[in-house]
Amino acid sequence: MTRPYVLDVSGYQPQAKYYNFWQNWKSRGVRGAIVKLSESTYYRNPYGAGQIAAAQHEGMQVSGYHFSRFRGNSQLAVNEANYAIATANSMELPHGSVLVLDYEEKLGYRSSNTQAAIAFLNTVKNAGFTPVFYSYSGMAGLWDFEEIHRQTGAMLWIAAYPVMSGVTEPYMNYFPGISDHIGAWQFTDNFYGEHIDASVDLTGVFTQMTQQKITSGGNLDSVRFDGNKLIVSGWFASAQAQGKPYAFAILTNEQGSQEFGRTQVNITSRPDVPKVYPDIPNGANSGFNANFDYTNQMKGKKLHLIFRYTDDPAGNGNFVDYVSLLDLTKSAASLDNVDTVVFSNKLQVSGWFATDMSLGLNHRFLILYDVAAQHELQRIEYNPTSRGDVQQAHPDIFDSELSGFSGQFDYSSDLVGRQLQVIARFSDDEHGEGNHIDYWFEPIKGPQLPVLDGKSETEVLVHEFSASKADNDLISLKFK
């Protein structure tokens, strides 16, 4: 009987975000994808979400893995688990999917490594994912897998390469049978000579395609700003929440080492949740809303939003968490119009610029830049205008409602046809220097100055004007 194969991919396989990548491997018996999500608390696979979506599109069962760096430290292991969970949720790895602890560092002591692995895997399990432990067979002296399995229920995904050249099938005579709980064997890092890792799924843990019974889940539905308030909403329900009557929303940095805000929340009705996840207890009452003061400590960072059930009125004690990624590094902008103004030799520009980094940067400038000469031509300060359309499109960007700009630069014939660039800037300095954040719009070609040709109709708003007869039956107009 032929067992199904599984590929594990990472940032080294950006092509795995395309359908044809998985179509090709599907023809060779691959039925599952294990996507690298994260590493330590400093790296997320930039292609991960696309790789998950592409594999799902081609009918693969998808799993995720986290490359660990916690080196036998159980508290760091929990922090890394939360980082992996937040990443999995943000990349839309389905609830109940396998989330692998990839343990490869040849450091530490067997007892502390084992306990740290258990802490990681149980955190993943409590968050509603299926835990699996991965390592190399030659590292078995650095961990006690039987104890890991006993305390977490995790299957073992073992790596051992009996043949280093390109292979097309596992050599089962060399199977590393170091445990009775091996779910899959990674038998090569050069499948079909294409320098990609392949495993054979022995138990269906990565390819069985049957829906796991999901008893924990959640979602961060919306993030928006109202003035200086950051407002979040979503839902979280878990079998582990029984006996934990207090609910909190907590903001931390990605490493879990610094807390920015904590607020107790009231649970609200979510009748939609049990329709999708009928096995999660009390899903009908799992909604949450919370707001935090937006501070300079938060801006420009990616944070973790933790929704927590606990038995402690202070929000600690015995608890179960749902962790989401909160991105406060967002910017968006549009240069809507660039026009020359009749009679005044002005270049009129208008558009909008909104960014999470604008908190505390109260001076707003438009800069005209000469691309070829690489220097600034002019700088003007502007007062922002209301843009309700931008707020509607980007409610999750700070101060997006007050993001409109309009201004006029001095413009002359020597700028016609030159490559010009408009820069929108927020600054804490009245002259536009100091701490600032810029948005550089795409270069434009300096437009022609308008010409009155005696044929076109032109309307001009002026304070005063006079008219007199000139030669050749023409009329001379003077404007103020």
Backbone angles phi, psi at 474, to 5 degrees: -95, 160
Q: Residue 269's pLDDT band (boundaries 50, 70, 90)? A: very high
The arithmetic mean of pLDDT across residues 28-33, rounded, is: 97
Model confidence at 465: pLDDT above 90 = no
Model confidence at 54: pLDDT above 70 = yes
The arithmetic mean of pLDDT across residues 402-406, rounded, is: 98
Model confidence at 7: pLDDT above 90 = yes
Report the C-alpha gap between 354 and 401 in whole angstroms.
8
Q: What is the CATH number of domain 216-327?
A: 2.60.40
Query: According to the model, what pLDDT value does residue 301 have?
Result: 96
pLDDT digits (tens, 9 = 90+) for 354-363: 999 999 999 9
Query: According to the model, what pLDDT value does residue 226 have?
Result: 96
- Tell me the one-letter amino acid at 476: S
Q: What is the mean pLDDT of the chain?
A: 93
Q: Are strands 130-136 and 155-159 parallel, antiparallel or unpaired?
A: parallel
Report the C-alpha gap between 180 and 216 in whole angstroms.
28
Same fold, 5-201 and 331-445: no
Query: According to the model, what pLDDT value does residue 158 have?
Result: 97
Query: According to the model, what pLDDT value does residue 340 have?
Result: 83
**CA dist 58 → 16, 30, 62, 97, 196 (Å):** 11, 11, 11, 17, 18
Q: How far is CA 385 from the centre of its chain?
A: 29
Report the C-alpha gap between 473 and 455 in whole angstroms.
15
Model confidence at 285: pLDDT above 60 = yes
Query: According to the model, what pLDDT value does residue 467 have?
Result: 73
**CATH class of the 331-445 domain in this structure:** mainly beta
Beta partners for residue 176, in sequence order:
none
With beta carbons less than 8 A apart as the criterion, state whether 286 and 236 touch: yes
- For residue 461 the two structure tokens come to 């708003």
pTM reported for the whole predicted model? 0.87
pLDDT digits (tens, 9 = 90+) for 219-253: 999 999 999 999 999 999 999 999 999 999 999 99
pLDDT digits (tens, 9 = 90+) for 155-187: 999 999 998 788 999 999 999 999 999 999 999
Model confidence at 16: pLDDT above 70 = yes
Query: According to the model, what pLDDT value does residue 166 have?
Result: 83
Q: Alpha-carbon Rg of the chain, whole angstroms?
A: 30
With beta carbons less than 8 A apart as the criterion, state whether 352 and 390 touch: yes
Model confidence at 282: pLDDT above 60 = yes
Model confidence at 455: pLDDT above 70 = no
Report the C-alpha gap between 342 and 333 in whole angstroms.
27
Model confidence at 192: pLDDT above 70 = yes
pLDDT digits (tens, 9 = 90+) for 109-148: 999 999 999 999 999 999 999 999 999 999 999 999 999 9
- Tell me the one-letter amino acid at 253: N
Beta partners for residue 236, in sequence order:
218
Model confidence at 475: pLDDT above 60 = yes
Beta partners for residue 394, in sequence order:
none
- For residue 381 the two structure tokens come to 């300060």
- For residue 348 the two structure tokens come to 């009129």
The domain over range 5-201 is classified in CATH as 3.20.20.80: yes
Query: According to the model, what pLDDT value does residue 341 have?
Result: 75
Model confidence at 474: pLDDT above 90 = no
SS3 content of the chain, % helix, strand, coil (to 5): 20, 40, 40
Q: What is the DSSP letter of 454?
A: S
Query: According to the model, what pLDDT value does residue 9 have?
Result: 98
Q: To 5 degrees, how large is the angle CA 97–CA 98–CA 103?
A: 155
Query: According to the model, what pLDDT value does residue 164 have?
Result: 79
With beta carbons less than 8 A apart as the criterion, state whether 153 and 120 touch: no
Q: Write the DSSP assignment of 366-413 as a string of letters.
A: EEEEETTTTEEEEEEE---B--HHHHHH-TTSTTGGG-EEEEEEE--G
Residue 327: which residues within 8 A CB-CB, separation 6 or more? 302
Report the C-alpha gap between 305 and 320 in whole angstroms.
13
Ordered by start, the domain boundaries in the chain are 5-201, 216-327, 331-445
Q: What is the DSSP letter of 479?
A: E
Helix 74-90 and helix 110-126, axial crossing angle in degrees, nearest 10? 30
Query: According to the model, what pLDDT value does residue 472 have?
Result: 63
The arithmetic mean of pLDDT across residues 18-22, rounded, is: 98
Beta partners for residue 304, in sequence order:
252, 325
Query: According to the model, what pLDDT value does residue 468 have?
Result: 73
Q: Residue 469's pLDDT band (boundaries 50, 70, 90)? A: confident
Rounded-to-10 torsion of CA 296, 299, 300, 303: 120
Query: According to the model, what pLDDT value does residue 288 have?
Result: 97
